[in-house]
C-alpha cells in the first residue's frame, strides 16, 4: 500500500522534504515543490485547498473587507455521553471556516491583515460574541488553519502582511494545532510570514498563556504577539459576560500578563469590547486603568458589534470617545479599533454560521 503524499499545508519545509525523500524524491525537488506551492500557488499533490464557497464584501475607507468561507469535513467527534454524537442538521458532510481579509492603512499605503479561525464555533460562551452562540463544533487542524492563508493569498490574490488569530474559536483551546500552523506560516521557505506580524488572541486561558510563555522563549518565537480579551473592569461584570472568568479571575489573569516575556518595545494588546450599559461608564474606565496600571499593554477599545439577536445595540461614537478620553486622563495608553465589516457580519465578534446555531444532538449508534 502506497504511503499518502506529504501535504505542504500540514508540514514545515524540513518535515515535508524528509517525508518526500522517504518516498524516493530528491531533496532539491521536494524543496522546490514546497516553496512553489506556498509562494506561487503552484498546485502540489496532497496540498489541495478548496476554493472559498462564499465571499462577502464590505467597503471601508482603506478598501474592501472580504469575509470568505472554506468548506472543511464535518468530522463527528464522540460526546461525553458515548451514546451520542454531534449531528448537524443540514450540514451532514461539510462545515465551513470563516476568515476575514482586512485592509489596514499605514505609512506606506494599505496592507492586508488576515483574521483566521482556529475552531468552528467556540466553547467559551461569551455572551456578546456571535461565534459563542454556535457552541464548539470542532477544532481545526494545522492544515485547515494554514489553508485559510493559502486561500486568501492564492485564491483571492491578497498579499497578506499580518495574521491575527481572532476569528472563530479560542486559539488556546487548540494550542497544539495553532503552534504547528504558526511554524508553517513563518517557515522562510514557505509562506514566510514574519513572527512579529502574527498575533494570538485569547479570552484569558491561563494554562494556554503559560504554554505560550514557554513557547516564546524558544529560538525564533520571541516576536509572537499576545492579545487578551479583558472586556470588564472587575470580576462581577466579567463573569456575567465571560464565563471563563469564574474559573480564571482577573487577578490571576493580570498576574500572568505582568509575567509575560515581552521583547523590547513590545506591549500586550488588551482588548476591551465596549458594550452600552454594561462596561462603558466613567467609573469603569477609572477601575480599568487601575487594574492594568502595572501591565505593559495597549488597551484596544472595540465598539461592540451586535451579534444576531443581540440584547445590546452598538455604542454611539460620542460614548466611545468619552470612554477613551477618560482612560487617557487616567494615564492609560489606549487606542480605538476601527469598525470594519459590520454590515456583512465580518467585524470583531460577528463570525458564526446561523444554520449551525440551530443544530441539535441526536442519538446515533456507536
- Pair 314, 278: CB distance under 8 Å: no
Smallest CA-to-CA distance from 201 within 229, 232, 168 is with: 229
d(CA 109, CA 122) in angstroms, rounded, equals: 35
d(CA 50, CA 69) in angstroms, rounded, equals: 10
348 is catalytic: yes
For residue 15 the three cell numbers come to 518535515
- Pair 153, 84: CB distance under 8 Å: no
**Pairing status of strand 63-73 against strand 94-106:** antiparallel
The helix (H) or strand (E) run that includes residue 176 is helix 175-185
> Facing residues of 228 across strands?
202, 270
- Long-range pairs, 311-318, Cβ under 8 A, ≥24: 312/128, 312/275, 312/276, 312/277, 312/278, 313/276, 314/276, 314/342, 315/274, 315/275, 315/276, 315/280, 316/276
The helix (H) or strand (E) run that includes residue 175 is helix 175-185
Smallest CA-to-CA distance from 341 within 306, 315, 316, 365 is with: 306
270's CB contacts (< 8 A; 6+ apart) are: 227, 228, 230, 257, 292, 295, 297, 298, 299, 300
The helix (H) or strand (E) run that includes residue 213 is helix 206-215
Angle of CA points 55, 136, 79, to nearest 5° = 135
Which residue bears the cell 463570525?
Answer: 351
219's CB contacts (< 8 A; 6+ apart) are: none
- Of the listed 122, 269, 270, 348, which one is catalytic? 348
For residue 154 the three cell numbers come to 492564492
Catalytic residues: 348
Amino acid at each position: 500500500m502506497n504511503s499518502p503524499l506529504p501535504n505542504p499545508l500540514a508540514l514545515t519545509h524540513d518535515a515535508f522534504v524528509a517525508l518526500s525523500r522517504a518516498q524516493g524524491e530528491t531533496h532539491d525537488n521536494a524543496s522546490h515543490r514546497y516553496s512553489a506551492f506556498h509562494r506561487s500557488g503552484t498546485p502540489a499533490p496532497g496540498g489541495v485547498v478548496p476554493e472559498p464557497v462564499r465571499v462577502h464584501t464590505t467597503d471601508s475607507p482603506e478598501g474592501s473587507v472580504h469575509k470568505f468561507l472554506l468548506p472543511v469535513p464535518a468530522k463527528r467527534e464522540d460526546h461525553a455521553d458515548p451514546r451520542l454524537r454531534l449531528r448537524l442538521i443540514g450540514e451532514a458532510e461539510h462545515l465551513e471556516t470563516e476568515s476575514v481579509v482586512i485592509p489596514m492603512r499605514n505609512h506606506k499605503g494599505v496592507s492586508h491583515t488576515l483574521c483566521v479561525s482556529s475552531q468552528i464555533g467556540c466553547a467559551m460562551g461569551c455572551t456578546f460574541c456571535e461565534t459563542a452562540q454556535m457552541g464548539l463544533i470542532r477544532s481545526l487542524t494545522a492544515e485547515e488553519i494554514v489553508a485559510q492563508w493559502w486561500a486568501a493569498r492564492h485564491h483571492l490574490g491578497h498579499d497578506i502582511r499580518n495574521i491575527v488569530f481572532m476569528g472563530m474559536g479560542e486559539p488556546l483551546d487548540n494550542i497544539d494545532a495553532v503552534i504547528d500552523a504558526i511554524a508553517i506560516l513563518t517557515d522562510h521557505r514557505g509562506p514566510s510570514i514574519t513572527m512579529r506580524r502574527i498575533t494570538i488572541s485569547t479570552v484569558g486561558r491561563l494554562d494556554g498563556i503559560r504554554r505560550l510563555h514557554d513557547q516564546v522563549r524558544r529560538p525564533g518565537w520571541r516576536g509572537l504577539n499576545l492579545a487578551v480579551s479583558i472586556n470588564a473592569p472587575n470580576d462581577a461584570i466579567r463573569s456575567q459576560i465571560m464565563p471563563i472568568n469564574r474559573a480564571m479571575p482577573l487577578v490571576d489573569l493580570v498576574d500572568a500578563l505582568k509575567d509575560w516575556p515581552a521583547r523590547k518595545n513590545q506591549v500586550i494588546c488588551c482588548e476591551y469590547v465596549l458594550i452600552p450599559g454594561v462596561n462603558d461608564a466613567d467609573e469603569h474606565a477609572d477601575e480599568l486603568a487601575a487594574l492594568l496600571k502595572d501591565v505593559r499593554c495597549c488597551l484596544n477599545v472595540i465598539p461592540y458589534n451586535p451579534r444576531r439577536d443581540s440584547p445590546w445595540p452598538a455604542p454611539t461614537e460620542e460614548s466611545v470617545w468619552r470612554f477613551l478620553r477618560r482612560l487617557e486622563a487616567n494615564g492609560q495608553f489606549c487606542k480605538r479599533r476601527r469598525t470594519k465589516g459590520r454590515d456583512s457580519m465580518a467585524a470583531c465578534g460577528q463570525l458564526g454560521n446561523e444554520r449551525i446555531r440551530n443544530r441539535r444532538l441526536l442519538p446515533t449508534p456507536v
